[in-house]
Amino acid sequence: MVARDAASHLTSSTMLPANPSAAGLSVGRLLCLLWLAGLAMRMTLLVMPPILPLVHEDLHMSETQIGLLIGLPLAVFAIAAVPGSLLIAHVGAKRAVMLGMVIAAISGAARGAASDVWTLYAAAIATGLGIAIMQPGMPTLVREWLPSRVAVGTVAYSNGMVIGAILPPVLTFSLVLPFVGGSWRLDLAVWALPALLVVVPFALFSPKERTPALPPGGTAAGSLWWPDWKSPLIWLLGLTFGCNNSPFFAANAFLGDYLAGMGKPELLGPTLTSLNGAQVVALVVLIAMSGRLQRRAWPFLLFGPILLAGFLGLILLQSPVSAIVCTGLIGIGTAMTMTPILALPAFLVPPAEVPRTAAGMFAIAYTCAIIIPTISGALWDVTGKAWATFVPASLCSVGLTVLGAIAARYRARGDDAAVRLG
């Protein structure tokens, strides 16, 4: 199992005690719990791309509507990120993450009951709300549970996110759809169940958490949860992460219809598997080099151009082999740059400011990720050219290369006393 291998490797190389709040729990257990949370966070969302052609046909959706379907949960990620930070300030990161898991799983299953586009949109929004609550909680948990091992903690939950993205395209066609008679509605219900079950070990085996104490004055002041929108750091992190996740979601959203337009719908399974499965290769590198990726410019300078090459290959090359290879490049490029970005809030700001900094980063990033898939679908509809849908993602690849390199070398307050990288 990838989680067990990752946790074993990370534990063996990081045998230092965790935060006193996690006293008595092994580092390996904490890493596995973070991994499970990451799994639930991505699996609920990425179950949609393999069945989008079925949903498209059943509900008679346009390409713009498909782009909006992908963009709506991301819009909620942006809108709910800051309230998620407020929730963390009141109830703690662990409780907030568990609540988000439950909402995302139940709403994810409810998408299968949609009678039209609008009810599907409503369920997608609710699913996005659950994930949005989880997102600022994850870097906060890493900082609380493993303050001296932020890098490996981030690798653990981003590892779970990657596996959560891989499992649906790998198992939907080969196992789940045949099991449910080809019903995309039942497919959504089947995938919601394990996402919901993750709540059980997370509740039973994670450190006990007290409700955070409010500062003198008795209220959750803005300094606890409201992002400092005047900070250039928040905008730099948000735009960098936006240039990472927008291409990933756009590729997942439009790959099925793009291949169908090429007359090669049978490539959807292999290319989605390549897109998400190639990230396993990235996981090996991330686990082995967790301490050498953070605050380094080279992952962005190398894998940003690799991401661009993947999209240009999809646009310019038409063979089945090139489609599989290019989607693999996209998967590796996004995975190898995602983890260094996710760890940056915990490295660059004091512990008390991690939730609001992460919330601001996610709000900006997912605002970008709303716009890009919607523009991508609209470009296809307006021009009638399938390749046009990948032009915005190609531009994001360039932005990721430049902004990522800048963010990696950003000089933060208290940089000399920053937490260790490995």
Question: What share of the chain has pLDDT > 70, as a percent?
Answer: 85
Task: Please identify which residue in the block is written with the tokens 């380094």.
Answer: 296
Whether residue 285 is contained in a domain is answered as yes
Residue type, 386: A
Whether residue 212 is contained in a domain is answered as no
The mean per-residue pLDDT over the stretch 83-97 comes to 83
Can you give the pLDDT at residue 392? 93
Whether residue 388 is contained in a domain is answered as yes
Can you give the pLDDT at residue 10? 40
Distance CA 138, CA 142 (A): 6
Whether residue 18 is contained in a domain is answered as no
* pLDDT above 80 for 12: no
The mean per-residue pLDDT over the stretch 352-371 comes to 84
pLDDT winner (highest mean) among 131-145, 211-225, 252-266, 283-297: 131-145
Can you give the pLDDT at residue 190? 92
- How many domains is the chain built from? 1
User: Residues 238-270: pLDDT tens digits?
Assistant: 999 999 988 988 887 788 788 887 788 888 878
The mean per-residue pLDDT over the stretch 412-420 comes to 46
Q: What is the token pair recorded at 167?
A: 């499992």
Instruction: Let me know if 340 is exposed, middle or buried by CB neighbors in 10 A (0-12, 13-18, 19+).
Output: buried
- CATH number for the domain harbouring residue 233: 1.20.1250.20
Q: How far is CA 123 from CA 35, 109, 244, in A?
A: 26, 9, 25
Can you give the pLDDT at residue 291? 62
Distance CA 240, CA 338 (A): 9
Distance CA 88, CA 143 (A): 13
Taking residue 371's Cβ as centre, other Cβ atoms within 10 Å add up to 17
Distance CA 14, CA 30 (A): 12
Distance CA 318, CA 324 (A): 10
Whether residue 419 is contained in a domain is answered as no
pTM for this one?
A: 0.70
Q: How confident is the model at residue 171 (pLDDT cuts 50, 70, 90)?
A: confident
The mean per-residue pLDDT over the stretch 352-373 comes to 84
Residues with Cβ within 8 Å of 76's Cβ and at least 6 positions away in sequence, in order, are: 125, 128, 129, 131, 132
Whether residue 182 is contained in a domain is answered as yes
The mean per-residue pLDDT over the stretch 4-9 comes to 43
Whether residue 210 is contained in a domain is answered as no
Q: How confident is the model at residue 406 (pLDDT cuts 50, 70, 90)?
A: very high
Whether residue 242 is contained in a domain is answered as yes
Can you give the pLDDT at residue 290? 61
What is the domain range of residue 128?
A: 26-204+226-411
Q: How confident is the model at residue 212 (pLDDT cuts 50, 70, 90)?
A: low
**Of 73 and 217, more confident:** 73
User: Residues 178-190: pLDDT tens digits?
Assistant: 999 989 999 999 9
Q: Give the mean pLDDT of the chain.
A: 80
**Of 204 and 1, more confident:** 204
Q: What is the token pair recorded at 105?
A: 């799983």
Q: How confident is the model at residue 14 (pLDDT cuts 50, 70, 90)?
A: very low
